[in-house]
Amino acid sequence: MEKKKKVRTKKRDLIELGIVLAVFATIYLTGAQTEVFGKVQQAVLTTGVMNASAMDEADYVDASFDFKLIDPDDNVLDANELKGKVIFMNIWATWCAPCVAEMPNINKLYDKVGDNPNIVFLMISHDKTMQKAVEWVKNKGFDFPIYQLSTRLPDVYETGVVPSTFVISPEGKIVVQKVGMANYNAKRFRKFITKLAE
C-alpha cells in the first residue's frame, strides 16, 4: 500500500514538474519572459523598499552635457540646450525586465511633473531600432518622450547596466544616480524633483 502511495506521489510530482517546465518553455519560446519577469519585479516596487532617493550632497558630481539624442521624428536634441533645467535621464531597453518593471511608475512621475517647463525627461532607449521602442511605449500607453543616442554617452553616465537613472540639477550636478530599478513615483521623490526645479 505504501509502495503504491509512493508511486502515485512520484507520478504527481513528475506531472507538476512537467507543467512548470511547459509554462517556462512557453514563456521563453514566445519571447514573453521580459514582460513576465517585469511584472514580478513590479510587485517588488510596490512594497516601497526600492524607492528612489537623492545622493548625499558630498557625493554630487559634475554632469556632462556633451552628447546628442535623436527622437522618433529624427530631430536631434543637443543636451547642452538643457543646461539650467532639471533633467530626469533614464537609460532603458524593451528587453530589460527591470526596465519594464519601473516604467509604469516613471510614466506616472512624468504625468505628475512633466508639464513643469523646468523639468525635462530623457528616456534613452538602448533598443537596436527606435521603432521597437516606439511601438512598445505606444502599446503600454506611456506618454513620456523617448530618444536614442546620436553620439556616444559621456563616461560619467556609463554604468554598463540598464536601467540606469540620473537626475541632473539646474546647477549641472548629478544629484541622483541609480543603477537598477527603482520607484520614482514616491511622494518624497516627486517633492524632491519639484523643489529642485524651483
Counting beta carbons within 10 angstroms of the beta carbon of residue 37, is it exposed (0 to 12), middle (13 to 18) or buried (19 or more)? middle
Is 75 contained in some domain?
A: yes
Domain holding 154: CATH number?
3.40.30.10
Structural domain of 149: 57-196
185 occurs within a structural domain: yes
Instruction: Specify if 133 maps to a domain.
Output: yes
Number of structural domains found in the chain = 1
Answer for the pair 114, 121: CB distance below 8 angstroms, yes or no.
yes
Q: Is residue 12 part of a domain?
A: no
pTM of the predicted model as reported, rounded to 2 decimal places? 0.80
**Across 22-26, 72-76, 142-146, least confident range:** 22-26
User: Residue 25's pLDDT is what?
Assistant: 52
The stretch 114-126 carries a mean pLDDT of 97
> Per the domain annotation, does 52 fall within a domain?
no
pLDDT in tens, 2-41: 555 555 556 766 666 656 555 555 545 555 556 656 565 6
Return d(Cα 133, Cα 145) in angstroms, integer.
Answer: 11
